[in-house]
Structure 1
C-alpha cells in the first residue's frame, strides 16, 4: 500500500539530472558570452545572464547563488566596457535589469531554504514518532528467534504505513504485520492506532480472532473521530499470528494481506494461503467472521511475513519479485540472516529502484539441542545455487 505512482525511478537518470541542473547556471553564463561575441553590439544577451541566478536560487546555497549573480554581473560589465558602451542608456538598463533579477533570486533562495528547513523539521518529527510506535523487537521473545526490518523506498525517508509488532502474552507469542494505506503523518497516526490496539488486545483476548476484532473496533473508533474512514483510502491489510507456548502449531488470520511463508529446515517452503479470503481491516463493512488457519511450525522452521513492498517489487522489465520462488530450497542460520539475504536480493532484483516501503518480520523456532550452524547461502538470483 501507499505506493508512489508511475514506473520505478531511475537513480542514474536522477543523478544525471542533478548534475545538469548544477552546471546549468555556469552554462547559461558561457552561452551568454558566446552569444554576445557572435552577435552585433546592439543585440543583448542579458536574458541569458539573468537566467543564471534564477536557476541557481532554488537549487544552490545562498553563497553559491550570490556567487552566480556576481559572476553574471561582472561578465556583463566586462563585455560592456570592452564594447565601449557602458554608459549608454540600453546597457545601463540591462545592468539594472540584471541587478534586479539577482536580488529577486536571493529572495527566492531564502524562501526555498526556509521551506526546506520546515520540511526537514517536519520529517524529523514524523520519523521520531514512527520510531516510537514501531520499535525493533527483541531478538528472542518467548523462546523464539525474532527479526524485523523496515526498508523505506527512499534512503532518507522513514515515514510510511508499514507496521509490525511482537508480544509475549499469556496465550503465547502473538504478532502482527500490516500495511496502512497512505503516507506521511496520517499513516503514522493509523500505525499508532493499530499497534496500540494490538498490544492491549494481545494481552487480554483469549483468541487470535478476538485480537483481530479489537483492531477492527479500534479503527472504527478512529474513523469516527476523523469523521469516517473512506472505504477505499482508510483500510489496513494485516497478518496476525500466534504461537502458543510449548506448541508447534502456528495460527494465522490474514486480512487481505500478501500470503506469508513458512521456511522449513530442509529447504521446503509453505505458502500460507487462507482457507477463506478476508477483506482488510477498516473497510467499514461490518463485522467480518474471522477464522484462524493452523499450520505446523516445527523446530528449525521460520515464519516469514512481509508487506507488498516485497511481493510487488519489480525489475526493469516489470517482473514482480516472487519471494516463495526465490527462497524455496535455501537455508539460513536464523531469522536475521534470512532478512538480510532477502533485502539484498530484492534490491538486486529492482536495481535499487524500489517504489514502495518494505516491512519484514521473521519468527523462528530454534532447532532442538545444539545444532551445527549452517552456512548462509546468499540469494543472488534464480539461476544461482
Structure 2
C-alpha cells in the first residue's frame, strides 16, 4: 500500500504524553548541567503544550507539576533561590491560567464541530432512505458515517429498488459538499428510483442517470459554476439471484465475500464518472460485467471514504484482508465489523464520509439467469 508523505507520523494519541515528557526532561537537563542552565522556560512551556492535547484537569495538573518541579530542582541540585525564581513561579501560574482558558476555547470549538457534524449526518440520513432489510432471498443492510474532521453535508449516496427486472442497487459519490451536493444527490436518487422500476435494461438505467447529471450541469451553469459529476456503481441482481450485473462509472470496485474470501469485482473496461460522458472522443457505451453470486455470498459496495482512509503513518486502508477474515453472519454484522475495523485503523480520525451497502443471497430459485444485453460473464 502507498504511504502519503504528507500525513503526520504522530497522531493526537501519541502527542498526549508530550507535556509529561517535557517535565521529565527538566531534571535530566538540571543534572547534566549541574543546574547551571535554567529549566524554568522549559517548565513554563508545558501547560501551553498541554492545552490543546489534554483535558482542563490535565492542563491544570501539568502546570502545577511544572511549578513544583522548579523549586524542587533548586533544592536537589543547589544554587541560590534568586529573584529570577520568584518571578518565574508567578509567571508559570499565569501561563497555566492562560493555558486553561485556551483549553476551554478549543474544547468549545471541538464541541461545535461535533454538533455541526451530527447535524450534517442527520441531514444526510434524512436524504438517504433506509433500504428494506429483505427483498425475497436477499438480505440488505446499509450504513452511512460522516467524516470526523468535517462538518459539511457530503455527496455520498446509496439506494436499493426492487423491480420486475430484479433488485437494483446504486452507490455513488457526488463531487463536492454542501447544498449543491445535496441537490445533486436528490436528483440522482429520483432518477434512479424512476428508472429502476421502468427501464428493462441496466445500460439504459445508467443512461438515465447520465442524462440527469447532464441536466444538473445545464441548470447549474453560469459564472463560477463548476461541473458536477459522480462516481457510481449500478448493480442489477436478477430475480433468480444467481448473478450480478455491474456497471462501474469510475467508482471503487465492489467486493464479493464468499466462503471467507473477499475479492474485488473489477470492471473489464474503465468508464467515466456520471456527468462526464460529453467529453470529446470519450462518449462510449458503458460495459456491464456479469459475475456469479453464490449462495450465502455477500456483495459489498462502498464509497472512496473507505479506500482513502489512512492510519497515522499514512498507509491507505484495504478492506479485502478484513473481509477475508471471519465476520458476523449477514450483511449487518459484516458492515458493523468493517466500520469497527476502519475506525481502529484510522484511530477514529476519518477524513471523508463513508457510505456502505451490503446484500447477502440467503436462498434463491433454481431457474437459470437470463444474461442481459452487453454483459460478459466473469
TM-score normalised to structure 2 length:
0.65
Pairing 1:21–2:18 present = yes
Tell me the equivalent position of 1:61: 55
Cα-to-partner distance string for 1:346-373 (whole Å, 9 max, x where unaligned): 959x99369875734335372348xxxx
Q: 1:94 to 1:336 in 2, by over 3 A?
A: closer
* 1:263-342 alignment, distance < 5 Å: 271=265, 273=267, 277-283=270-276, 285=278, 288=283, 290-291=285-286, 293=288, 295=290, 300=295, 304-307=299-302, 336=331, 339=334
**Offset at residue 114 of structure 1 (A):** 2.0
Separation in 2 of the partners of 1:310 and 1:19?
27
**Offset at residue 36 of structure 1 (A):** 10
**Offset at residue 57 of structure 1 (A):** 1.2
Cα-to-partner distance string for 1:130-176 (whole Å, 9 max, x where unaligned): 33334552231255333445678979999865432111235542211
Q: CA RMSD in A?
A: 5.4
Tell me the equivalent position of 1:236: 230
C-alpha contact 1:149 1:360 (8 A) present in aligned 2: yes
Question: Aligned match of 2:364 in 358, 362, 367?
Answer: 367
Question: Aligned match of 2:102 in 101, 108, 119?
Answer: 108
C-alpha contact 1:238 1:256 (8 A) present in aligned 2: yes
Cα-to-partner distance string for 1:259-312 (whole Å, 9 max, x where unaligned): 5567889x9x995735x6421112373695545637476783857253456778
**Offset at residue 45 of structure 1 (A):** 2.7
Separation in 1 of the partners of 2:138 and 2:307?
25
SS at match of 1:194: helix
SS at match of 1:352: helix
Runs of 5+ consecutive residues of structure 2 not aligned to the other structure: 367-378
Runs of 5+ consecutive residues of structure 1 not aligned to the other structure: 370-385
* 1:158-307 alignment, distance < 5 Å: 162-169=156-163, 171-181=165-175, 191-203=185-197, 205=199, 207-220=201-214, 222-223=216-217, 224-225=219-220, 227-230=224-227, 234-243=228-237, 245=239, 251-260=245-254, 271=265, 273=267, 277-283=270-276, 285=278, 288=283, 290-291=285-286, 293=288, 295=290, 300=295, 304-307=299-302
C-alpha contact 1:262 1:301 (8 A) present in aligned 2: no
Separation in 1 of the partners of 2:64 and 2:316?
51
**Offset at residue 115 of structure 1 (A):** 1.6
TM-score normalised to structure 1 length:
0.64
Q: Which moved more, 1:116-125 or 1:217-226?
A: 217-226
Separation in 1 of the partners of 2:8 and 2:38?
40
